Chain A
Amino acid sequence: MTQSMTDAAVGPGAASGQGVEVRLEDLRREYGPVIALDGLSLTMAPGEMVALLGPSGCGKTSALRLVAGLEEADAGRIVVGGHDVTSLSANKRGMGMVFQAYSLFPHMTARQNVAFGLRLRGVKDSDRKRRAGDMLELVGLSAQADRFAHQMSGGQQQRVALARALAIQPQVLLLDEPLSALDAKVRVQLRDEIRRIQLEVGTTTLFVTHDQEEALAIADRVGVMRAGRLEQLASPTDVYARPASAFVAEFVGLTNKISGPVQGGRVQVLGTSVAIVGTAVPDGPATAMVRPEAIVLTTDDGAGGDAPGELGTVLAVSFLGAISRITITLPNGGSVIAQLPTSVAAEFPAGSSVRVSVRPDPVPVAPADSPS
């Protein structure tokens, strides 16, 4: 890839293969009575990709738009590469952005779209063309350089949008649910492509999505947001395996909510005493969040004995390819979902009697009367 642009052409602090640190400090944003961001703080390391994940209205897009400069913060600071950019307008921040909706300029070809930011910066025509060509090659669309938006598929349009955002060598790359308008297969392909390109250019990237699989698959760290605040910011593995709260456990991945008493910092789940992660929970009734893969099934041989767990009946088996999900009803009327390799799941056909227990991995727990 050609790196021929001068610093003057791309603005101060422009990334040249190296990302910059981004700090969001106690950001607040309100829309009338609605609090979109309630003191959001987040530090992104240079070159890191952070995904903000959360339900609709949790403030993730507001956070992204504040970083882009498309909206103003009511309070707090945004520091990029050591410079406070909070009061800078969007066109002076040097950030590349890919939008959720297709946003290519329809009267320009793919090449012209990619070169547009460079044109605004007064980059020479020959340099512009070369750089646009490089960027299109990076996203694998050299052959479509002379096509207009209406001549390209949704996935291709988003690739061009990515190339356009990267062409100006932005300090920070902002991705606002760029895959949500695409069909499932293209989404997975482009998701991996975005990660490959981000690693190649090394630009610090903030990626907003409501798709947990997307966030967990490509981000260095995932920030789970709720009501304008970060509920947890951690690696995808930690967010999944060690959720900081019942909300995170329930929002990310599939979770069984199983009632059980808490006693001395441990919770009793299906006959097994399990450690509690996250904040301490007072003794008393509570709800444990248990992943389906942490559910252990054994064939009920009728012997019973001292084996932990409760007896249940297999209600249904869902085949999902390499794995299968088994729904088991318990004597108390509740149900749990277990996830097993399909070859193992074959031992538990619908209607069969099974013993259900859990692996003794730590789980997040919510007091019985609290909302998750």
Chain B
Amino acid sequence: MAAAAQSAAAGSPDISTAVDARPRKGGRRLPLAWLGALPFLAYVGIFLILPTGIVVVGAFVGPKGGVTLENVKTIFQGFVFDSFVKSIELSAASSIIGAVFGALLAYAIVSGHPDSTLRRIVTSACGVLAQFGGVTLAFAFIATIGGEGLITVFFADHGIDIGSNVWLFELPGLTLVYSYFQIPLMVLVFLPALDGIKPQWREATDTLGGTGWHYWRHVAAPILWPSFLGAALLLFANAFSAYATVAALVSQGGIIVPLQIANALTSETGAVDAGLGKALALGMVVIVALVMTGYALLQRKSAKWQR
């Protein structure tokens, strides 16, 4: 102890000298690691946070510049509110269909060999088709089951009217069109969850006396459920924010919210209402934020189980 104390005492002046010898100019050195994230932070700031801020503030600004709640009140009224209902219906319907059929397709894929050519082909195709929207997709459907589409004409030649020139441009038709990219997206999102299912869980259930039903009822389904639900929410958000496909299909009116926003911002009759457009956008932001919060919570839960 004494020796240690002596040593410490003797060493003190040296330590103090060493500290004093360091340059004081500039104080503490700034960590440079965060500089790597600067481009991303700038991108998010300019293209996400700034526009969101403009939308949030603008939703409460009247035509003459004053603060108002009128814009927000309007979105709960008449055809504007109906567009929210239609948007939610379309997103819900296409996400449920996409989730169910996408999950079945994903299950079929994982049932095969993990390195099979078929799996690579299907997942690659899903990667492309999940991004296949807009005018191209709209045209594909118009050319096949539109009023003068290939299939419509074929059936008409055989005396059958499939009536697609009406329903294709309404909720059922839009749901069908959206499913075209929703199902592949579900495959991509849900595949990792299915891959995370360990074969030992099935075998453990078997050796413990369980059947296939027991396995699905008590093991696989409870483990997959959060991932499935989370993926379905992601599909909902994907459909809810889609614009180009429906804009190409429906040239008149504002059947869904993104079209209402377009109408409010670019009216050909001069009735531009930027405040309403921003209030509609705010409504979308709130709904998507809620959905994505649910998605994040479910993902956190399922990720914990599938480590």
CA distance A94 to B209 in the complex (A): 7
CA distance A103 to B222 in the complex (A): 16
With an 8 Å Cβ cutoff, the count of chain A residues facing the other chain is: 32
CA distance A119 to B211 in the complex (A): 13
Residues of chain B lying within 8 A (CB to CB) of residue A119: 218
CA distance A106 to B200 in the complex (A): 12
Is the CB of A20 closer than 8 A to any CB of chain B? no
Whether the Cβ atoms of A97 and B203 lie closer than 8 Å is yes
Residues 134-166 of A at the B interface (beta carbon under 8 Å): 148, 150, 161, 164-165
Residues of chain B lying within 8 A (CB to CB) of residue A99: 200, 203-204
Residues 175-234 of B at the A interface (beta carbon under 8 Å): 198, 200-201, 203-211, 214, 218-219, 222-223
20 examples of A-B residue contacts, CB within 8 angstroms: A70-B203, A70-B207, A89-B206, A91-B206, A97-B207, A99-B200, A105-B218, A105-B223, A106-B305, A106-B306, A107-B222, A117-B209, A120-B208, A121-B209, A150-B304, A150-B307, A164-B208, A165-B207, A165-B208, A174-B207
Closest to A98 in B: B204
Is the CB of A261 closer than 8 A to any CB of chain B? no
Is the CB of A240 closer than 8 A to any CB of chain B? no
Q: Mark B96-135, 1 if CB is under 8 A from A, else 0.
A: 0000000000000000000000000000000000000000
Give, as a whole number of angstroms, the nearest-CB distance from B214 to chain A: 6
A103/B207 contact (C-beta < 8 A), A116-B218, A150-B307 known: no
Whether the Cβ atoms of B206 and A103 lie closer than 8 Å is no
Residue A168 contacts which of B208, B223, B307 (CB distance < 8 angstroms)?
B208
A11/B209 contact (C-beta < 8 A), A107-B222, A120-B214 known: yes
Closest to A11 in B: B209
Whether the Cβ atoms of B305 and A101 lie closer than 8 Å is no
Residues of chain B lying within 8 A (CB to CB) of residue A47: none
Whether the Cβ atoms of A116 and B208 lie closer than 8 Å is yes
Residue B198 contacts which of A69, A103, A164, A165 (CB distance < 8 angstroms)?
A103
CA distance A149 to B207 in the complex (A): 19
Residues 103-137 of A at the B interface (beta carbon under 8 Å): 103, 105-107, 116-117, 119-121
Residues of chain A lying within 8 A (CB to CB) of residue B198: 101, 103
Whether the Cβ atoms of B200 and A107 lie closer than 8 Å is no
Residues of chain A lying within 8 A (CB to CB) of residue B214: 120
Is the CB of A96 closer than 8 A to any CB of chain B? yes
A96/B209 contact (C-beta < 8 A), A105-B201, A106-B305 known: no
Residues of chain B lying within 8 A (CB to CB) of residue A58: none
Whether the Cβ atoms of B206 and A70 lie closer than 8 Å is yes
Q: Mark B20-49, 1 if CB is under 8 A from A, else 0.
A: 000000000000000000000000000000
Is the CB of A80 closer than 8 A to any CB of chain B? no
Closest to A99 in B: B200
CA distance A95 to B203 in the complex (A): 11
Give, as a whole number of angstroms, the nearest-CB distance from A81 to chain B: 17
CA distance A164 to B201 in the complex (A): 12
Whether the Cβ atoms of B223 and A90 lie closer than 8 Å is no
A105/B219 contact (C-beta < 8 A), A99-B200, A120-B214 known: yes
Residues of chain A lying within 8 A (CB to CB) of residue B201: 103, 105
Closest to B203 in A: A70
A90/B207 contact (C-beta < 8 A), A99-B200, A103-B200 known: yes
CA distance A161 to B200 in the complex (A): 11
Please classify the interface of chain B as helix (H, G, I), strand (E, B), loop, or mixed, using the class held by over half of its residues: helix
Whether the Cβ atoms of A117 and B203 lie closer than 8 Å is no
Whether the Cβ atoms of A120 and B209 lie closer than 8 Å is yes
Whether the Cβ atoms of A103 and B204 lie closer than 8 Å is yes
Give, as a whole number of angstroms, the nearest-CB distance from B222 to chain A: 5
Question: Given known contacts A93-B207, A117-B208, what 17 new A-B pairs fall within 8 Å (CB)?
Answer: A11-B209, A70-B203, A70-B206, A91-B211, A95-B207, A96-B207, A97-B203, A99-B204, A103-B198, A103-B204, A116-B208, A119-B218, A150-B305, A150-B307, A161-B204, A165-B208, A168-B208
Q: Mark A282-320, 1 if CB is under 8 A from B, else 0.
A: 000000000000000000000000000000000000000
Closest to B224 in A: A107
CA distance A96 to B203 in the complex (A): 11
CA distance A11 to B205 in the complex (A): 16
A91/B207 contact (C-beta < 8 A), A99-B200, A101-B200 known: yes
Give, as a whole number of angstroms, the nearest-CB distance from A242 to chain B: 36
Whether the Cβ atoms of B204 and A107 lie closer than 8 Å is no
Whether the Cβ atoms of B305 and A168 lie closer than 8 Å is no
Give, as a whole number of angstroms, the nearest-CB distance from A169 to chain B: 11
Residue B204 contacts which of A11, A69, A97, A148 (CB distance < 8 angstroms)?
A97
Residues 40-99 of A at the B interface (beta carbon under 8 Å): 68-70, 89-97, 99
Residues of chain A lying within 8 A (CB to CB) of residue B223: 105-107
CA distance A68 to B202 in the complex (A): 13
Residues of chain A lying within 8 A (CB to CB) of residue B206: 69-70, 89-91
Whether the Cβ atoms of B209 and A91 lie closer than 8 Å is yes
CA distance A101 to B197 in the complex (A): 12
CA distance A91 to B223 in the complex (A): 21
CA distance A92 to B209 in the complex (A): 6
Give the one of B201, B209, B210, B306 with max A CB within 10 A. Answer: B209
CA distance A132 to B304 in the complex (A): 24
CA distance A164 to B203 in the complex (A): 13
Give, as a whole number of angstroms, the nearest-CB distance from B221 to chain A: 10
CA distance A369 to B201 in the complex (A): 48
CA distance A250 to B304 in the complex (A): 44
Residues of chain A lying within 8 A (CB to CB) of residue B218: 105, 116, 119-120
CA distance A201 to B307 in the complex (A): 33
CA distance A135 to B186 in the complex (A): 42
Residues of chain A lying within 8 A (CB to CB) of residue B204: 97, 99, 103, 105, 161, 164
CA distance A11 to B209 in the complex (A): 10
3 closest Cβ pairs, A-B complex: A117-B208, A103-B200, A106-B305
CA distance A314 to B218 in the complex (A): 64
Whether the Cβ atoms of A68 and B207 lie closer than 8 Å is yes
Closest to B225 in A: A107
Closest to B303 in A: A150
CA distance A68 to B206 in the complex (A): 9
CA distance A91 to B209 in the complex (A): 4
Give the one of B208, B305, B306 with max A CB within 10 A. Answer: B208
